Amino acid sequence: MMTRSSSTVDLRGFAWPLVALERKSQHDVDCAAARTARLLRHHAVAREEVAAREAARDGQLLRLGQEGGAAIDPRLHRQALAYLAREAEGLARDREDCVRIEASLARARLAGGEAQRRRELVRTLRDEAVAKFALSQGRARAKEADLAWLARFASQAIGCRQAP
């Protein structure tokens, strides 16, 4: 199979009817890569939010544990417990967001792989069309060379017979 980098084939006469499909397949790959990158950024931010909430929760639990032996103000204790409950709910939501983003990321990666396979298929079809075109160009050049040789041979044969 001949590739695009072949220097012996003049591609000026090559007409590829699937140029639009080739461009669309490249665009699909680019869009899938951009979506995957965007989801990776969102996932990193979501993980940072989870880590920040966990650190805040751990700090609050540590403070509550340190106050265990001291005189406990019931109002402050209730307030701290309410805060921990809200943080636990927020942490659960952030973890769910991480799971949803991971699922979206997996789907985006699959879509990107599929777009890549479609692009490679279109490129393979183009390479095959170029190879077919190169073959027909080679045949045409060979036919022209044969005709030129026959014409020279015929003119030489005629020239030899007419000589005295």
Give the predicted TM-score (pTM) of the model.
0.69
Domains plus CATH for the chain? 18-162 (1.10.287.1700)
- pLDDT tens digits along 103-150: 999 999 999 999 999 999 999 999 999 999 999 888 888 898 888 898
Q: For 90-102, how does the pLDDT look when each residue is reduced to its tens digit (9 = 90+)?
A: 999 999 999 999 9
- Count Cα atoms within 13 angstroms, Cβ side, for 47: 8
* Distance, CA of 119 to CA of 164 (rounded, Å): 69
Helices (H), the chain: 19-66, 74-162
Residue 109 is predicted with a pLDDT of: 97
For residue 28, which of 118, 104, 127, 123 has the smallest C-alpha distance? 118
What digits encode the pLDDT tens for the residues 22-78? Answer: 999 999 999 999 999 999 999 999 999 999 999 988 888 888 777 665 667 788 878
Task: Give the pLDDT confidence score for residue 10 in this predicted structure.
Answer: 75
Task: Write the CB contacts of 83 (distance below 8 Å, at least 6 apart in sequence).
Answer: 60
Least Cα distance to 49 among 105, 106, 104, 90 occurs for: 90
